[in-house]
Each structure stands twice: as structure tokens, then as C-alpha cells.
């Protein structure tokens, strides 16, 4: 049994690097729990959170990352607890809860046994904050600071930030070949996101030289390298854009993927890009779920109805947040709004307003 478990875990890790699904990781985690190998189960939980990060986005990864952090803390596994905490902090940032994200990074820096990954991840968030503020040069500096810290690590971490930095650096200064050359020659290409970033950066250079057919082929190769990692693909494609670029189909695709998953920062960036270019901006999709008339009369929105249905089942705010790809604070706000709109005095009273 242990050998089967180890094989599943190793194969699942390869699936993760290649952009595949998490089937073997989930099977390995289940088997680890059955065998009482809780430390291994925690490590697998973290890998599943990483896959969620690349597939659905950092906000969607909040739920599994929080669960991993809580379990690791109970087992006194400081390493996994720190790494899971980093994913929580990153998810909070992209959910728009910036101060909460920075506060958690500060806490992790005080507690982490090895602060390199905390510091580098915090630097990456600073870089993305600049990018979201339409300051690409500041973003290159921030992501570059992250990569500089990872270079100093004794163990190579093939985090996607290597590719994100090299790609954005190529966009900002295509005459400087060093970032892309470093990425091409680094052993971080074991990570599918970094391999895709090489193709995308080469596409940027091909476009600059007027080789549009070559650029289109390189983009297709980058997309293929990412497999089912939709969020990673869309983020990298956004990083490819020049200062004045606002391709409506891409930005609309990003909004359609990111908005229902609570990706506040990325959705806002795409809307701002469209608005600056004078393009039509999609209306916020707040009512994708049909609301019964009796609840609509109370002002209940589609998203609030989704929350109400799960709360009525007895789910906690954390479980609702993980299921709907929202932050816990957002769910708390929805529950408070539901209590105010329906007049219910507590969570159990909300069930009376819903036909289960």
C-alpha cells in the first residue's frame, strides 16, 4: 500500500507540472488519509491548492489553501503551513482584500522557519500591484525582485513567476534579451507555465518583427502547454499586452472566467482596459441564477441566492466560500445582507425563506 501511495503521489506531482488533472493527487490524498499518513495528506492538499490556483485562479484556491494551512498547523508542520499561508495571502490579494493579504504576509514572515518564499511571494504581489495599476516597469521590478530571491535559494523553485517576469520584461523592453534567455536556459522549465511563457515571449518578439503567422503559432503552442490551466493561460495572455493593447475578445474571455470566481483585481483590470480603449464593457454578471419572485421582492440577488442555498444546508462560511470560489469575507457580507433583506434573526432562520 505505501508503494502504491508513493507512486500515485509522484505521478500526481508530474501531472501537476504538466498542467494535467488532479485525479491521481486526489486518489493519493484519500489513500494517505486511510493509511493514517496525515503528513503526506497535507502535502497533497497543498499540491491540489496549487492546481486550483492555476486552473481556476488564486481566489478559488483560497478554500483548499485554508484547509491545508489549518490542518498543517494542527499537526505542527510549519513548512506546509507557511506555504499554504502564502497561497491564502495571494488569494486575498487577488480577491481585492489587499490589506488583509499584506497583514498575513507580515505574520508569515515572523513565523516562517525559512522566510525566502514568504519574501519572494510578497515581492511578486508588489509587482502585480504595479501591473494592475498600469505600471508595467514597476511590475517588472517587483517580479524581478521575487526572482532574485528565488535565485539565492539553495533549492530551485520552478514557480510560475519566473515565466511571468521574463514575459513581462520582454514586453516592456524587447531589446533586452537577458530575461528570456535566462528563462530558456533555466531548469524551471519543468513547470508548464514557464514553458508556455517562453512561447508567449517569443510571440511578442515575432509580432514586433511583423511575423504574425509565427506569432500565432507560438501562442497556440503556449496555450497547448498549459493544458487545463485556464487561469494561467489567461493571465499570461494579459501579460503579453502592450500599454495600448485592448483586444476585446481576450479581455471579455478573461472577465467571463474571472468574475464568477471572485477574481476582483483581474476583472477590474480588464474592464479598465476596455474602458480606456473606448470599447464596450460587459455589465457585471450578478444575477446568473434565476431568483424566485418572492425573494426578488426582498432584493435578493442571484449570488445571494447561491449563498442562501448552501447556508440552508448547514454549510459554514468557509465551505460556501470554497464552493463558490469567493473569499470568506465576501460570503460573510452576503450572509449579512440576506439577514437584513429577509428579516431573519440568524442563519437557521434563513432556511424558512427557501424551499429546500
**Residue range(s) defining the domain that contains residue 297:** 293-353
**Shared-domain flag, residues 214 and 152:** yes
Kindly report the three-state secondary structure assignment for every residue of 94-147: HCCCHHHHHHHHHHHHHHCCCCHHHHHHHHHHHHHHHHHCCCHHHHHHHHHHHH
Residues 213 and 129 in one domain: yes
Domain contains 297: yes
Q: Give the gyration radius of the chain's Cα atoms.
A: 21
Within a domain: 116:
no
Q: Is the domain of 132 the same as that of 232?
A: yes
Structural contact between residues 326 and 262, judged by C-beta atoms closer than 8 angstroms: yes
Which of 243, 261, 281 terminates a domain? The answer is 243
pLDDT per residue over 111-170, tens digit each?
877 777 899 999 999 999 999 999 999 999 999 999 999 988 766 678 999 999 999 999
Q: Is residue 39 part of a domain?
A: no
Among the listed residues 181, 177, 229, the one whose alpha carbon sits nearest the alpha carbon of residue 19: 229
To the nearest 10°, report the CA torsion of 181, 187, 190, 192. -20
The Cα 282–Cα 298 span in angstroms is: 26
Checking if the pLDDT of 287 tops 60, the result is: no
Is residue 356's pLDDT more than 50? no
- The CA-atom distances, in angstroms, between 318 and each of 56, 213, 328, 329, 331 are 17, 47, 6, 9, 8
226 and 303: one domain? no
- Look at residue 111 and tell me if it is in a domain: no
Total number of domains constituting the chain: 2
303 and 235 assigned to the same domain: no
Q: Which of 243, 275, 307 is the last residue of a domain?
A: 243
pLDDT at residue 233 in the model: 95
Residue 246 C-alpha cell reads as 485592448
107 compared with 42, residue with greater pLDDT: 107
Closest CA to 195 of 227, 149, 148: 227
Residues 179, 170: contact at Cβ < 8 Å? Answer: yes
Among 62, 68, 61, 63, smallest CA distance to 82 is for 68
d(CA 158, CA 149): 13
Task: Give the domain CATH number at 316.
Answer: 1.10.10.10
* Same domain assignment for residues 152 and 228: yes
Amino acid at each position: 500500500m505505501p508503494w502504491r501511495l508513493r507512486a500515485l503521489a509522484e505521478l500526481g506531482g508530474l501531472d501537476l507540472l504538466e498542467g494535467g488533472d488532479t485525479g491521481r493527487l486526489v486518489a493519493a490524498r484519500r489513500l494517505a488519509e486511510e493509511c493514517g499518513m496525515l503528513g503526506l495528506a497535507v502535502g497533497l492538499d497543498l499540491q491540489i491548492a496549487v492546481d486550483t490556483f492555476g486552473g481556476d485562479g488564486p481566489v478559488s484556491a483560497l478554500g483548499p489553501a485554508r484547509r491545508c494551512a489549518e490542518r498543517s498547523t494542527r499537526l505542527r508542520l510549519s513548512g506546509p503551513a507557511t506555504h499554504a499561508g502564502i497561497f491564502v495571502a495571494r488569494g486575498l490579494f487577488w480577491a481585492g482584500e489587499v490589506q488583509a493579504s499584506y497583514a498575513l504576509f507580515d505574520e508569515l514572515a515572523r513565523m516562517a522557519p525559512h522566510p525566502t518564499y514568504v519574501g519572494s511571494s510578497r515581492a511578486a504581489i508588489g509587482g502585480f500591484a504595479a501591473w494592475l495599476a498600469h505600471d508595467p516597469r514597476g511590475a517588472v521590478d517587483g517580479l524581478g525582485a521575487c526572482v532574485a530571491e528565488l535565485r539565492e535559494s539553495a533549492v530551485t523553485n520552478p514557480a510560475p513567476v519566473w515565466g511571468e517576469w521574463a514575459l513581462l520584461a520582454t514586453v516592456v523592453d524587447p531589446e533586452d534579451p537577458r530575461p528570456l534567455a535566462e528563462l530558456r536556459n533555466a531548469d524551471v522549465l519543468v513547470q508548464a507555465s514557464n514553458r508556455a511563457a517562453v512561447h508567449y515571449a517569443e510571440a511578442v518578439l515575432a509580432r514586433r518583427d511583423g511575423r504574425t503567422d509565427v506569432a500565432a503559432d507560438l501562442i497556440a503552442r503556449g496555450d497547448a502547454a498549459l493544458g487545463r490551466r485556464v487561469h494561467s493561460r489567461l493571465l499570461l495572455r494579459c501579460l503579453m499586452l502592450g500599454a495600448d493593447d485592448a483586444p476585446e475578445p481576450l479581455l471579455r474571455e478573461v472577465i467571463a472566467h474571472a468574475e464568477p470566481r471572485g477574481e476582483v483585481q483581474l476583472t477590474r483590470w480588464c474592464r479598465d482596459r476596455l474602458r480606456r480603449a473606448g470599447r464596450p464593457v460587459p455589465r457585471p454578471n450578478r444575477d446568473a441564477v434565476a431568483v424566485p419572485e418572492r425573494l426578488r421582492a426582498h432584493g435578493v440577488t442571484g449570488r445571494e441566492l447561491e449563498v442562501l442555498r448552501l447556508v440552508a444546508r448547514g454549510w459554514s462560511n468557509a465551505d460556501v466560500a470554497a464552493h463558490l470560489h469567493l473569499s470568506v469575507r465576501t460570503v460573510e457580507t452576503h450572509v449579512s445582507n440576506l439577514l437584513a433583506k429577509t428579516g431573519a434573526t440568524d442563519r437557521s432562520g434563513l432556511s424558512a425563506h427557501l424551499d429546500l
